[in-house]
Chains A and B, each alone.
Chain A
């Protein structure tokens, strides 16, 4: 198998054309920081959000090896710029639907490391009360409608959340994350058509990490230009460098502004890469090590710190403080999860139905 090429950001043919040029130039784009937040501070925030996900998952690997965490665990390491960049442009009233590779989405959305870690431990204090685990993190108060273990299974749900928002006269956006594998599922195509037909306020955030589990993009798609295919549904669609948090944020901002202005669903093909195996069970025999190394050279965290250094920001001091805060936060999360109570077995049948005990 030839090496999958690292993504080059480019625009797919879509109507209407995005107003800006995205990250075509060699110089990285400047994400527009939210009003009142200086650019330097904003970058530090992006950096901290990405590092929190990275360090959290690295700790998960240790805890998995120590058999503290079980089940399927799908790591997001390498893809952090996507969750963090997209989340920057969403409001608390917007809704998020995620996948089974969702620790990053959940943490970026503001679910605490403590609640996510407790869920990984299967404890009562977890964000799903210990009934979901790594693949099913939920937080209704943050409108985080969780991860689905069914590839593309969250897409129809997201269309419904978007529809309800519009029917209730709210100007909310629903953001649905999914991968290149989901793009091969009928549920993606049904939902893309429905969303475009009904002009739904839906952001389709496709995390193209080049592999559907072990199947490379070119081995599963007759036409691997996903943005171009999405555009065929009559929605603005373009590809973005998913290894660059600022590029992701800028693209997501443009898309979400369009959605809020009433121009219907937008599709972003966020070209990214997972540095780790598909799951903890995956021996990762289908990828060339050189390919992985090539992508690691584009690590979104290093990319941002390099850019900060170039611009003369005191990044090393910043990093030291960020790392200290995150270590404390994760230490605390692990400690709390260790101490948290387990759900007693007599509560087994709770939450099967709302009103009656059991199913």
Chain B
């Protein structure tokens, strides 16, 4: 995420994602993009802008506002040999396609005794922080991470936005990609990956020795800011980006906790039944004797996310909350 100061061109998370889709459409004629307003409008968040002109309406396919039908159609097309990328405008609308995702995409391989893999990629925007009020501010990726049979990704950097799509399309099973709405404008240099991008491992975004800040997606910038603040106060925090929410990289979490002996989990979802709860349980199961302090969680307040800026800020995890939690664990 950091600026390297080299001559590499600046790009944004949005452009990186678009380039990933463009590359996929160019390199594999089984790939097509479909969703609401992905074509003529250019994507609700501008991700697919220009792709209709380049690839035509068959492969950049505008759909009616029928989430269940077009997500299910993507599943059917995947069964018949295509590699669809289905865009759901926002995670809240994905609830209208939950039947297809859970009852078909995630189950067909198993129900059919291994006959029917479903190589579909479903992308959607997630998260709060833009004063969009209660229905457009959900962070439900943790719900999806509950479901066996699917892989759940949360690219939090420009590099992951650019490079996670290709291995997602190569995965023979359904992959859900959650793009936090606040990340699209993230700008920086896109550096080529130093090694093949995999979908199985968490990443250490900032090494440290005193405490592990474990997070993903839209909360990563907040955790990194908190780590900077903690460093100024003499606390050396390690920041772990989970990247893949299912299957979780247990080893990376355990290794970090073994180094720091303290953990703060940062998750924009509601605390109850959250992914943070799951990671916390796994730390308790696997790293209990490594801990020098109770695990801390920084999650959203248990309230429908309100519109008013002051209230919304109060509802969401902020860097100051992460710093405070770290101090509770360290001091």
Proximity bits, A148-170, B CB within 8 Å = 1, else 0: 11100101111111111101100
Q: A168-211 vs B: 1/0 string, CB under 8 Å?
A: 10000010000000000011001101100100000000000000
The residues in B between 73 and 119 inclusive whose CB is less than 8 angstroms from any CB of A are: 73-82, 84, 99-100, 103-104, 108-117
Q: Is B99 a contact partner of A160 (Cβ separation < 8 A)?
A: no
Question: Is A131 part of the contact surface with B, judged by Cβ < 8 Å?
Answer: yes
Contacts known (A136-B111, A161-B80); A145 close to B75, Cβ less than 8 A: no
Contacts of B71 in A (CB 8 A): 156
The reply on B135 being an interface residue by CB < 8 A is no
Q: Which residues of A contact B116 (CB under 8 A)?
A: 138, 140, 145-146
Interface membership of B272, Cβ < 8 A: no
CB A293 to nearest CB in B, in angstroms, measures 37
Task: Write out the residue numbers on chain B whose beta carbons fall within 8 Å of the beta carbon of A127.
Answer: 113
The answer to whether A353 and B77 touch (CB under 8 A), given A136-B111, A157-B72, is: no
Residues on the A chain within 8 Å of B287, using CB: none
**Contact across chains for B81 and A164 when beta carbons are under 8 A apart:** yes
Q: What is the 8 Å Cβ interface bit string for chain B, positions 48-84, against chain A (1 contact, 0 not)?
A: 0000000000100001101011111111111111101
| Cα separation A290 to B111 with both chains bound (whole Å) | 39
Which one of A131, A153, A161, A354 lies within 8 Å of B79 (CB-CB)?
Answer: A161
- Determine whether the beta carbon of B113 is less than 8 Å from that of A129: yes
Contact of B75 among A132, A138, A157, A186 (CB under 8 A): A157
Known contacts A131-B113, A359-B247, A190 near B69 by CB under 8 Å: yes
A156 touches B76 (CB 8 A): yes
State A157–B108 Cα separation when bound (angstroms): 11
Contact A197 B64 (CB under 8 A): yes
Q: Report if A129-B99 is in contact (Cβ < 8 Å); known contacts: A159-B73, A160-B76.
A: no
Verify A150–B113 contact, CB threshold 8 A. Answer: no
Q: How far is the CA of A132 from the CA of B107 in the complex (A)?
A: 10
Asked whether B148 is an interface residue with its Cβ less than 8 Å from the other chain, the reply is yes
A153-B104 contact in complex given A160-B72, A160-B76, A163-B77, C-beta closer than 8 Å: yes
Does residue A358 face the partner (Cβ distance < 8 Å to B)?
A: yes
Q: How many A-B residue pairs have CB under 8 A?
A: 161
Closest beta carbon of chain B to A144's beta carbon, Å: 10
Q: Which residues of B contact A191 (CB under 8 A)?
A: 66, 69, 72-73
Interface residues of A in 125-140 (CB under 8 A from B): 126-132, 136, 138-140
Give A186's nearest chain B residue, CB to CB: B68
Instruction: Say yes or no: B117 contacts A159, CB within 8 Å.
Output: no
**Chain A residues within an 8 Å CB radius of B247:** 356, 358-359
CB distance from A33 to the nearest CB of B (A): 30
Asked if B115 and A138 make an inter-chain contact with CB atoms under 8 angstroms apart, the answer reads yes
CB closest chain-B residue, reference A149: B103
- A307 interfacial contact with B, CB 8 Å: no
A156 lies within 8 A of B113 (CB) = no
Residue B172 is within 8 A (CB to CB) of chain A in the complex: yes
* Residues of chain A within 8 A of B111, CB atoms compared: 128, 131-132, 136, 138, 146
Closest chain-B Cβ to A97's Cβ sits at a distance in Å of: 8
Give A91 Cβ to nearest chain B Cβ, in Å.
15
Instruction: Say whether A355 contacts B112, CB under 8 Å.
Output: no
Q: How many residues of B contact A (CB 8 A)?
A: 45
Give every chain B residue within 8 A of A132 (Cβ-Cβ): 111-113
Q: Within 8 Å of chain A (Cβ to Cβ): is B13?
A: no
Smallest beta-carbon distance A119→chain B, Å: 9
Which single member of A126, A146, A164, A187 contacts B72 (CB below 8 Å)?
Answer: A187
Q: Nearest chain A CB to B24's CB is how many angstroms away?
A: 15
Whether A194 and B114, one on each chain, are in contact in the complex, defined by CB atoms closer than 8 angstroms, is no
CA distance A1 to B99 in the complex (A): 34
- Decide: B99 and A165 in contact? CB cutoff 8 A: no
Give CA–CA (A159, B73) in the complex, Å. Answer: 5
Residues of the B chain whose Cβ atoms lie less than 8 Å from the Cβ of A187: 68-69, 72, 99
B66 to chain A: closest residue by CB: A190
Give Cα A140 to B117, complex, Å.
10
When distances are taken between beta carbons in the complex, the residues of chain B under 8 Å from A97 are 76
How distant is the Cα of A158 from the Cα of B151 in the complex, in angstroms? 24
Report whether A160 and B115 are in contact in the complex, using a CB–CB cutoff of 8 Å.
no
* Alpha-carbon gap, A190 to B64, bound state (A): 8
Task: Tell me which residues across on chain B come within 8 A of A358, comparing CB atoms.
Answer: 148, 247
Contact mask for chain B residues 152-176; partner A; CB cutoff 8 A; 1 contact, 0 none: 0000000000000000000111000
B138: Cβ under 8 A from any A Cβ: no
Asked if B103 contacts A153 (CB within 8 A), the reply is yes
Residues of A within 8 A of B63 (CB): 194
Instruction: State whether B32 touches A167 (Cβ < 8 A).
Output: yes
Closest Cβ–Cβ distance, residue A93 to chain B (whole Å): 11
Flag if A359 contacts B246 (CB, 8 Å).
Answer: yes
Taking each of B79, B81, B246, which has the highest tally of chain A beta carbons within 10 Å of its own beta carbon? Answer: B79
Q: Which residue of B lies closest to A174 (CB)?
A: B76
Q: A157-B104, A355-B173 are in contact. Are A131 and B72 (CB under 8 A)?
A: no
A297 within 8 A of B: no
Q: Which residues of B contact A168 (CB under 8 A)?
A: 80-82
CA distance A165 to B173 in the complex (A): 20
A95 an interface residue at 8 Å Cβ cutoff? yes
Q: Least Cβ distance of A341 to chain B in Å?
A: 14
Q: CA A355 – CA B113 in complex, angstroms?
A: 14
Say yes or no: is A219 at the interface (Cβ < 8 Å to chain B): no
A contact residues around B148 at 8 Å (CB): 352-353, 358-359
A10 to B103, CA, bound (A): 36
Contacts A128-B113, A131-B113, A156-B100 known; list 15 others, CB within 8 Å: A97-B76, A128-B112, A148-B103, A156-B73, A160-B75, A160-B80, A163-B77, A168-B82, A187-B69, A190-B68, A191-B69, A194-B66, A194-B70, A356-B247, A358-B148
Taking Cβ atoms with an 8 Å cutoff, the residues of B that contact A are: 32, 58, 63-64, 66, 68-82, 84, 99-100, 103-104, 108-117, 147-151, 171-173, 246-247
Shortest beta-carbon contacts, A-B, top 6: A156-B72, A160-B76, A129-B113, A359-B148, A164-B80, A190-B69
12 contacts between A and B (CB under 8 A): A95-B80, A140-B116, A153-B99, A153-B100, A160-B72, A160-B74, A160-B76, A163-B82, A165-B80, A194-B73, A353-B173, A359-B150
